[in-house]
Amino acid sequence: MSTNFEYYKIFYYVAKYKNFTHAAQVLYINQPSVTRYIHLLEEELGCRLFIRSKQGVKLTPEGDLLYEHVAPACESLFSGEEKLHAVKDLKEGTLLIGTTEIAFRTVLLNKLHIFRQRYPDIKVKISCDTAPQSVSNLLSGKYELNLITTPIDIKDTIAMHKVMSLQDVLICKTGYINLAENTPYTLKDVCSYPMVTLPDSTSTRRFYESFYYEAGLQFKVDIEVSSIDLILPVIQRGLAIGFIPQKIVEPYLHSGEISVIPLAEKMPTRSICILWDKQRPLSLAAHKFFEVLTKDYMP
């Protein structure tokens, strides 16, 4: 297309309103400029596009033919500009987040509340997977950001930023074990009690297995549940003991219905981290959510 698009834009508004003055007002230019641009367009195309009338102007047959093609093109471009401005102003858009269950419970819910208060027009889609599956989905482009619990293996193309430290504790129903004051249990001591935990496909399960392995023990599981939300009810009924992030179980510890089993071995600290693919640019919504996640670092 050799003709300047601005000519077609002016032609579109003149044809739409059938008035040079009205078109000039919409375009924020003077009426003589509109007339001059239309004459230039007619010269380039080699035909008349408008006929003046008492009511304003009307399209010639050639003008009608041109308008049939120019109108949808201009309207599509204008719509695209409007949507782009809406996205830039965070008045429109969708944020795609992957997460693990523990990261969702301990960090994402609170941060999402802050984000939605600031940017209520942004739609949010959240998928909860195991850490390995969540990382795989991030690499495939299913998510923009991924909030996961360490430990996790990541590739060089993935960037990682720590959001919060996480400490697991071993808990039981109060009275289930006759806990001696100031006398920590060894892992060998608690091996005689039934254990509830997550499936072996999770990084959390592998973390506990590694902890036992370092102590020269095997992590034996009696009850396996698919969700972190199912661990606590099993423990509350006195069916087993189990590890769980302290942040999740704190309200139940304060109420006295659950007790922490003190361990002689110090359990390593884990982290909640935000991941993103360095090979894919983040949307403006993802950038803003990253700011919300990292602004108030929680040690």
Residue 148, both tokens: 């996961």
β-pairing, 56-59 vs 196-197, is unpaired
208 phi, psi to nearest 5 deg:
-65, -40
pLDDT, residue 2, reads: 52
Nearest alpha-carbon partner for 219 in 239, 202, 237: 202
Angle at CA 108, nearest 5°, toward 105 and 112? 130
State the pLDDT at residue 122. Answer: 87
What tokens were used for 131?
A: 């850490």
The pLDDT, as a whole number, for residue 220 is 94
Q: What's residue 298's pLDDT?
A: 43
Residue 297: per-residue pLDDT:
43
pTM reported for the whole predicted model: 0.68
pLDDT on residue 181? 63
How confident is the model at residue 225, as a pLDDT?
A: 95
Instruction: Please give the average pLDDT of every successive group of 10 residues along the chain, which has 299 residues.
Output: 77 90 90 91 91 84 91 86 71 86 92 90 89 88 91 87 93 84 85 93 91 94 94 94 93 89 93 92 88 68
